[in-house]
Amino acid sequence: MKKYLNLLIISAFVFSLSSGIVWAQDSLKVNPGNLFQQNKEQLKNQIKDLKQEKAQTMETIKNEINAKRQEMQTTIDSAKQKIADLKTKIKSEKDTAKAKIQEQRISGRELALSRFDTALERVTALKDKVSGVLAKNETNGLDVTIAKGFLATAETKITDAKVKTTEAYSLLSTSANQLSAENKVKLQTLAKETQDLILETQQALNDSIKSLKETLQTKIDTLKNTSDQNASVENKIETESTN
């Protein structure tokens, strides 16, 4: 009797152990469909996080650029006021000949600086126009990532050109006296660098529009091919139905 009782206990233990193993195996089984769905959701969340991070980074950069431009504009406004003060001071100059020379000098500087301003205003207006075109196409579902990259380059070039212009304003508003040889060279360098930056900005904006056109053409070609394929399938179905 004791023998059978021991056998019964052993059998019960083996059954319990087997059941536990089966349960563990079932628990470790992975449903491919569920796994795919989990990976898909995880990937979507990662992409969403990356987009949010990119948007925050771009917003931070944008704010920094705007703050820097505002600072430069303040410097330019201050320089313009200094030039206005110099013109007022010249009027009180008793030496007529000296006063006339200084007036001509200040007028020449104002003209040079206005050319800096005009060039920047034109290229900035062009940049804003391109930005508006990209925004409109992006809203319509077109991928303008590459085009926006060129636009960002143009933004950077404009900021750099603004820096050069600010330096020129500071240089020419110090006094009504003739520039030193060193400052003349510096002014020529600033003018050349500003001109180069504006040309590079124009090139970046041209590249942006070119990229937009290429992307748009690719989408048109894709839609056309899809339409042709659908038409081909419909014709085939119609032909088989007729036969």
Question: pLDDT per position in the chain (243 positions), as tens?
Answer: 444 444 444 444 444 444 544 444 555 455 555 555 667 677 777 777 776 776 667 677 777 777 887 888 899 999 999 999 999 999 888 888 999 999 999 999 999 999 999 999 999 999 999 999 999 999 998 999 999 999 999 999 999 999 999 999 999 998 889 999 999 999 999 999 999 999 999 999 999 999 999 999 988 888 777 665 655 555 555 555 555
**Amino acid letter for position 179:** L
| CB-CB neighbours of 75 under 10 Å | 17
**Amino acid letter for position 147:** A
Contact 151, 131 (CB under 8 A): yes
Q: Which residue intervals of the chain are DSSP H helices? A: 2-28, 32-91, 96-139, 145-172, 181-242
Q: What is the pTM of this model?
A: 0.69
Question: What is the C-alpha separation between 156 and 61, in angstroms, rounded?
Answer: 11
